Structure formats: C-alpha cells, structure tokens
C-alpha cells in the first residue's frame, strides 16, 4: 500500500525572498519530523512578482522590444542568484544550486527566443507564452529544495510537470503576455503523479513540485491560469489521495474580510466547502476559485495557514457536520458590468434566458451573478473585460426587433457569506441599512443559502465593504478618551 501523504502549498508571498524561503524550509522540516503528520509533498509558487515579470518579458518578446526584454531577464536572474546565496551555505550545496539556476535560466532564454520567433507569424503564441510563464515555479522549486536540504532533510525538485491538462482555450483577441488556464485531466494526472512522486516518498525524499503549471498529453507546457497554484496543490493532493492540504500564505487563515482593506478582521476557524467556494468566487484572493473542486467530493480538508506564524491553527475548510460553521465573511468582486436583455414587447416571453446564457458562455463569460428577471427582462453581471464580446454576440444573434440589450458598467458585488448571516433573519435588513447609512445605493440584491449579495457602484465598493463589516461583523468601538482630556477641551471652549 502507498504511504499516506499531506500536501503543503507555499504561495508567492511565502517564498518571496531568501529569509522567507528559509522559513518555508523549517516548516517542511518540522512537518516531516512531526510523528502525527503524514509524509509531506510540497507544492510551491513562483517568488512573488516573478510571474508578472515573466509575462512582461513575454510581452516584450512578442513586440520585439529587445532591450526591455533583456533588462527584465537580467533582473530576474539577479533576484534568483541573490536568493540562492541567502538560502544555502557557501560550498558544494550553493555551487550545485547556482549551476542548476543558470541551466534553468538558459532554458528560459531559449523559450523566450522561441516565443519571439512565433509571435510575428502567430504560431501558437498562447502556448509559447505559457512555457515562458512557467519558469517562475521551475526556479523556485530549485531554491526551496536546496533550502530544505540545508536543514538536513532529503528533498528534491520534481522537474517534470505533475499535472496533465487539456489544451488551454485559444482566444486570438487576447493581447500578448496573457496566460489562459487549462483544465487538469484527472486520470492522466493521477497516473503521472504516482510515477513522479511516490518513488521519492518511498525513498524518504520530500518532493518539491511546481504549482501553476502543467503539460498536455501532446507535450505542450500549460498553466492552470493566474494564481492557479492553490488549484495545483489540491489537484496533486487528490491525485495522491492525500490526508489534507495546507495552503500557507501571509495571513492567519480565511478572515472575515481582506485585511488589506478592513482593519479589525477576525479569523474564521472553520468554513464549509460551499462557503469558501462562494467567498473566493466573490473575490477573496486568499483562495483560487477552483481550489476546492478536486477535493470537496472526496472530503479532503484544506487548511489555510500563515507561513509567518505556523503555530496558529488557521482555517479548516471541510465538509459540514450537523452544526453550521456560524461563519460570516464579506468580500467584494470588482470591475463588473450588468447586462439587461429586455423584450421590446412588455409581455414578451422569458424563454430566451437559455439563449442569453449560452451566448454569454460562448463569449467566454460566466455570469458572475444573476440580478433580476421578470416576464420580459433578464439582468445579470459579467466581468467588465468580457462585456464587449458578450454584447457583440447578443446583438448579432438576438432579433433586434424583439430584444433590447443594455449595459451598465462600473459595478461591484459585495457578498456577505456564511451561515452566520443566513441563520439570522435580520441580516438582509442590517446589510441594506448599513449601506443606506453611508448613502451607498443598492443597485440590485440577491439572497441564497450561502448569504446575501449586494450590487453597488464599483467606486463605492471599498466603503461598502468596510461599513458592512462594521455593522454586520465587528463594530468599530470608538476610542474612549481620558476624562482629563475632555476637561481640558471644555476649559479651552
């Protein structure tokens, strides 16, 4: 029988510099030495900012901006070479790492050269771009493996792509330097993961695999889309029938709101799969929206933890038992547009809803939320960047004499998610009142078992998030000033 494993995923912020990578290495070491934890399989992202940099390189290569391209490549090289010196002691280990990094950087340059030649003739530019984008993770597995070995633990980078994917969608209207996500093929990935990972586990070597990237059966490098390493970790975890997946990031777990936008957030100790999926769908960056797909059906728990404070338990996302999680969190998904398809006949038939959604899907836009419908109209939200192609298709395919299509841009969805809200019948009233008290108009609203969604203008969305958090989750208690201060004020008056 194969040994049971757990997956540890470290995001770009956790491997952002040499000191952070050393911290990651000690978490790996502690997990390995913890007798209560299964054998660790590690999945890492590129150092933070590196994928953006690689996509800039791809853009420069496609538009023949040689100088800018070389400058970025040099900066990328320098960053990794400097980090190598911070994660390994002087000696053989560092020399080996430097040698491996140089070899990888030379292959990156080759892939940039291939992309440069492919762009003018339009020869599979999206696949050549994915190959360039994949080098961030390919470089960071070398750094993390060496840092882990420096802790006296046997660790090896998994150089071949673990995840086997479909071909990514090809949209020729995309600008240069964009990667599209491909879908993992489960059976092929399972077989490949077993071949690449179990021999290392059986030999007591910690495998350090790259997140984000994959390969088609025909051998093309692909990605799972931007921020796709969480999804990679759960895909690999499911393929290995892992016991659990820990996602290490730069916050203590899933919080009641994004701490970059709201001051007094709280940690949510537990979330159901459905609650976590809804939160990430509505913009909580802490998890990639597809992360839970591979593992929810298998009831494998995911733990979101802080790589800077690994002693904290974090948030456990898992199956619900009889009691609800009681969680309540607020997130915002921005840059949305509302499409309304209306019958020119006031009593027109609603049966065209199916056609509308089929056309939206054909234009590559999943409705983010459905706002309202009646006998003769249907309103729904899509990402603003998809609006032109959806509207073009609707105008083209729907009879203009019968249907009118209108668009409202500059919107955002504020989602109050969790059984903490749905258990309380007053939540909707309090949410609307909170926004009204700040004079933020509610453009549309919806409720479901997972929570309440309020559509507001994008420019008010951060304010809306803060006031919803204040009135529904954590009141901001005004500072009580010292009586002596107040006396002084009175005297001055």
Residue 37: half-sphere exposure toward Cβ, Cα within 13 Å: 17
Q: Rule CB under 6 A: is residue 12 a binding residue for ligand ADP?
A: yes
Total of residues contacting ligand ADP (CB under 6 A)? 21
Residue nearest to ligand PHD according to CB distances in the complex? 12
Distance CA 3, CA 201 (A): 8
Annotated binding residue at 154? no
Secondary structure (3-state) at 75: helix
Closest CA to 184 of 165, 209, 167: 165
Q: Look up residue 121 and give its two tokens.
A: 């003739």
Question: From the list ligand PHD, ligand ADP, none, which binds 458 (C-beta under 5 to 8 Å, kind-based)?
Answer: none
Secondary structure (3-state) at 54: helix
Question: From the list ligand PHD, ligand ADP, none, which binds 254 (C-beta under 5 to 8 Å, kind-based)?
Answer: ligand ADP
Tell me which stretch binds ligand PHD (CB under 6 A): 21-29, 46-54, 90-98, 271-279.
46-54
Annotated binding residue at 43? no
**Least distance (Å) from ligand PHD to the CB of residue 11?**
3
Question: From the list ligand ADP, ligand PHD, none, which binds 251 (C-beta under 5 to 8 Å, kind-based)?
Answer: ligand ADP
Distance CA 203, CA 186 (A): 25
Q: Rule CB under 6 A: is residue 45 a binding residue for ligand PHD?
A: yes
Q: What would you measure as the largest C-alpha separation in the chain, in angstroms?
A: 82
**Least distance (Å) from ligand PHD to the CB of residue 48?**
6
- Cα separation of the two ends of the chain: 81
Closest CA to 248 of 292, 208, 287, 191: 287
Distance CA 350, CA 331 (A): 32
**Least distance (Å) from ligand PHD to the CB of residue 245?**
13
C-alpha distance from residue 158 to each of 17, 31, 189, 193 (Å): 21, 19, 14, 10
Residue 187: half-sphere exposure toward Cβ, Cα within 13 Å: 0
Q: Look up residue 337 and give its two tokens.
A: 């547009």
Distance CA 451, CA 435 (A): 16
Q: Rule CB under 6 A: is residue 235 a binding residue for ligand PHD?
A: no
Question: Cβ closer to ligand PHD: 7 or 455?
Answer: 7
User: Binding string to ligand ADP for residues 14 to 53, with x set by CB under 6 A, is what?
Assistant: x------------------------------x--x-----
* Cβ-based neighbour number of residue 323 at 10 Å: 8
Total of residues contacting ligand PHD (CB under 6 A)? 13
Q: Rule CB under 6 A: is residue 286 a binding residue for ligand ADP?
A: yes
Q: Which 8-state DSSP code applies to residue 383?
A: E
**Least distance (Å) from ligand PHD to the CB of residue 49?**
8
Tell me which stretch binds ligand ADP (CB under 6 A): 5-13, 168-176, 192-200, 378-386.
5-13
- 369-374, strands of its sheet edge to edge: 369-374, 377-383, 329-343, 403-417, 451-457, 444-448
Question: From the list ligand ADP, ligand PHD, none, which binds 51 (C-beta under 5 to 8 Å, kind-based)?
Answer: ligand PHD
**Least distance (Å) from ligand PHD to the CB of residue 279?**
16
User: Binding string to ligand ADP for residues 249 to 278, with x set by CB under 6 A, is what?
Assistant: xxx--xx-xxxx------------------
Secondary structure (3-state) at 77: helix
Question: From the list ligand PHD, ligand ADP, none, which binds 136 (C-beta under 5 to 8 Å, kind-based)?
Answer: ligand PHD
**Sign for the pseudo-dihedral over CA of 484, 486, 490, 493:** positive
Question: Cβ closer to ligand PHD: 46 or 440?
Answer: 46
**Cα–Cα–Cα angle for 419, 424, 425, nearest 5°?**
125
Question: From the list ligand PHD, ligand ADP, none, which binds 260 (C-beta under 5 to 8 Å, kind-based)?
Answer: ligand ADP
Distance CA 185, CA 26 (A): 33
Q: Rule CB under 6 A: is residue 228 a binding residue for ligand PHD?
A: yes
Which of 51, 145, 235, 450 forms a contact with ligand PHD (CB under 6 A)? 51
Beta bridge partners of 330: 416
Q: Rule CB under 6 A: is residue 451 a binding residue for ligand ADP?
A: no
**Sign for the pseudo-dihedral over CA of 66, 50, 166, 197:** positive
Q: Specify the residue for token string 């309540």.
A: 328
Q: Which 8-state DSSP code applies to residue 240?
A: T
Q: Rule CB under 6 A: is residue 309 a binding residue for ligand ADP?
A: no
User: Binding string to ligand ADP for residues 193 to 232, with x set by CB under 6 A, is what?
Assistant: ----------------------------------x-----
Instruction: Name the site residues for ligand PHD (rule: CB under 6 A).
Output: 11-12, 45-46, 48, 51, 136, 211-212, 226-229
Return binding residues for ATP.
249-250, 260, 285-286
Q: Catalog residues that contact ligand ADP under the rule CB under 6 A.
A: 11-14, 45, 48, 227, 249-251, 254-255, 257-260, 284-286, 329, 331
């Amino acid at each position: 029988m194969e040994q049971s494993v757990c997956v540890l995923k470290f995001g770009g912020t956790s491997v952002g510099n040499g000191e952070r990578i050393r911290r990651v290495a000690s978490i790996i070491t502690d997990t390995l030495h913890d007798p209560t934890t299964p054998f660790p399989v590690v999945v890492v992202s590129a150092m933070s900012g590196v994928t953006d940099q690689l996509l800039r390189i791809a853009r420069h290569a496609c538009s023949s901006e040689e100088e800018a391209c070389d400058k970025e490549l040099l900066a990328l090289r320098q960053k990794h070479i400097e980090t190598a010196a911070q994660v390994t002691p002087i000696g053989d280990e560092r020399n080996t790492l430097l040698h491996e990094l140089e070899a990888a950087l030379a292959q990156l340059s080759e892939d940039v050269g291939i992309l440069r030649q492919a762009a003018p003739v339009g020869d599979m530019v999206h696949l050549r771009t994915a190959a360039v984008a994949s080098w961030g993770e390919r470089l960071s597995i070398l750094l993390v493996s060496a840092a882990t070995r420096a802790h006296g633990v046997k660790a090896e980078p998994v150089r071949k792509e673990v995840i086997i994917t479909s071909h990514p969608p090809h949209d020729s209207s995309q600008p240069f330097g964009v990667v599209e996500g491909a879908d993992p093929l489960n059976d092929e990935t399972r077989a490949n993961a077993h071949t690449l990972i179990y021999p290392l586990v059986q030999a007591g070597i910690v495998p350090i695999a790259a997140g984000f990237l994959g390969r088609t059966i025909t051998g093309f490098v692909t990605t799972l889309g931007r921020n796709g390493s969480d999804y990679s970790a759960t895909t690999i975890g499911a393929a290995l029938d892992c016991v659990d997946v820990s996602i290490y990031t730069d916050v203590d777990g899933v919080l009641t709101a994004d701490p970059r936008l709201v001051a007094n957030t709280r940690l949510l100790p537990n979330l159901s799969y459905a609650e976590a999926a809804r939160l990430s769908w509505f913009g909580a960056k802490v998890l990639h929206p597809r992360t839970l797909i591979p593992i929810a059906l298998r009831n494998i728990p995911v733990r979101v933890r802080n790589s800077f404070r690994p002693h904290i338990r974090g948030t456990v996302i898992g199956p619900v038992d009889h009691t609800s999680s009681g969680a309540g969190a607020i997130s915002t998904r921005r840059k949305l547009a509302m499409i309304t398809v209306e019958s020119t006949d006031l009593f027109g038939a609603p049966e065209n809803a199916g056609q509308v959604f089929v056309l939206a899907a054909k234009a590559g836009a999943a409705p983010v939320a459905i706002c309202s419908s009646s006998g003769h109209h249907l309103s729904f939200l899509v990402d603003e960047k998809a609006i032109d192609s959806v509207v073009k298709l609707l105008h083209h395919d729907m009879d203009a004499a019968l249907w009118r299509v209108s668009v409202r841009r500059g919107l955002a969805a504020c989602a109050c998610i969790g059984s903490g809200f749905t258990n309380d019948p007053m939540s909707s009233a309090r949410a609307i009142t909170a926004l009204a008290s700040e004079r933020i108009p509610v453009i549309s609203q919806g409720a479901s078992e997972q929570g309440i969604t309020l559509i507001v203008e994008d420019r008010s969305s951060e304010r809306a998030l803060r006031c919803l958090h204040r009135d529904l989750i954590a009141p901001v208690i005004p500072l009580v000033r010292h009586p002596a201060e107040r006396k002084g004020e009175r005297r001055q008056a």
